[in-house]
Amino acid sequence: MADNTVTEKSPNVSTTGMRRILPADLVERGRRPFDPPPGLRGEGAVRPLELLNGARAWLVTGFDEARTVLSDPRFSADKLRHQDATSPRPPGPAAPATAEREDGIFIFMDPPEHTRLRRSLTGQFTVRRMRELESRVTEIAIEHIEAMKAAGTRADLVPAFALPLPSLVICELLGVDYADRAEFQERTSVGLNATSTPQEQAEARAGLYAFMRRLVAAKRANPAGDLLSGLIHDADPPLTDAQLVDIALVLLNAGHETTANMLGLSMFALLEHPGQLAALRADPGLIDNAVEELLRYLSIIQLGVSRVAKEPVTLGGVDLPAGSTVVIATPEVNRDPRHWSDPDTLDLHRPRAAHLAFGHGVHQCLGQQLARIELRIGLGELVSRLPDLRLAVPAGQVPLRDEMLVFGVRSLPVAWS
């Protein structure tokens, strides 16, 4: 549930077009699906990046440098006020620095606006609420595994398990009718697909906003115990309908898209590293460490996080002028050899250390504990209840999601006895 992965409505801000303006070798992983794209690797933790749209940016591949970008107030997430080189340039003047923001897309805001909206959300993502969800996540995981077993000895793990588990959880958390999941999943997929046409993306966004406006109106009229009802009736100061729609869509998109892909790709990685999978089967207590190592090793958010320097900054020994766009290469950042020994090796026994899979600083992912719960329980139940789980096709035939902002597998055919 990364705090920077969302399809949004502002014409000034674009993450879905990221792939179209970056060289292919920066985003395509090919047949080495667990390693960063080859173009991310090069000399220097901060280096110039020539975009396909002709703009100049800076690629950040160093761990310490990325943490600085994500936490230093000299770098802005507000791409409305600080034009990002990776975004299309709309006609007319840029928004003035003093303009009031009326939307709720807090992931593209700086303090104090970001602080106010995030504080409203923090009160809903309580430790108690997350703990209460654990039993429900376990119940959902077991139900889907047993359904797979009842249907035979083969399944596609993505639609049968990896996608429905986080989708059900986020629907219940927000108060979305699970029967509507197909609609928002399809529209989200179109919005996050970098090969979708601008018209297709616009139609997908319009449909998502119409869907969420209806839900907000229903929750305002008939509140329940869900998170969205809490935001509507407990936020101080109250949130507008437009802000509620934006916030709910950020949470809904992030709450199923990233975790679903992480579940599928993690199981693929474990099946392709039989020694590590055997270690987890032999010691189920290793699961927390395994989740952190998989988050570091896989880093499914490819190049969706960028910031703009509000003033001249020296980063990693490189002088960046004001207005510079920096693009954080999370897959490579989490393989920085200055921070980890043997970083390209998946090692479930690796001593735990901070990674940036959930970001850093004020924009660090709000739902990271929920994502950890879903990964820990989902992977743990698969490993324990399907002890001979294996790929049903050669690894090279597993289709990858190279065209998406969030990396993963399109399907994962598996078999068991």
Q: Whole-angstrom Cα distance, residue 136 to residue 172?
A: 10
Question: Minimal CA–CA distance to 332: which of 375, 364, 371, 303?
Answer: 303
Burial 111-122 (b: 16+ CB within 10 A, else e): eebbeebbebbe
pTM for the model stands at 0.87
Quickly state the pLDDT bin for 18 (edges 50, 70, 90). Answer: low
- Burial class of 272 by CB neighbour count within 10 A (0 to 12, 13 to 18, 19+): middle
Superfamily of domain 18-415: Cytochrome P450 (1.10.630.10)
What's the Cα-to-Cα distance from 408 to each of 109, 228, 300, 355, 403, rounded to whole Å? 28, 29, 7, 19, 10
pLDDT at 126: 78
pLDDT at 90: 42
On the question of pLDDT at 11 being above 50, the answer is no
Q: Whole-angstrom Cα distance, residue 339 to residue 326?
A: 21
pLDDT digits 0-9 by tens, 126-172: 778 888 889 999 999 999 999 999 999 999 999 999 999 998 898 88
Answer yes or no: are the C-beta atoms of 335 and 356 closer than 8 Å: no
Domain boundaries, the chain: 18-415
Q: Whole-angstrom Cα distance, residue 67 to residue 356?
A: 8
Quickly state the pLDDT bin for 311 (edges 50, 70, 90). Answer: very high
Minimum mean pLDDT range among 3-7, 37-41, 63-67: 3-7
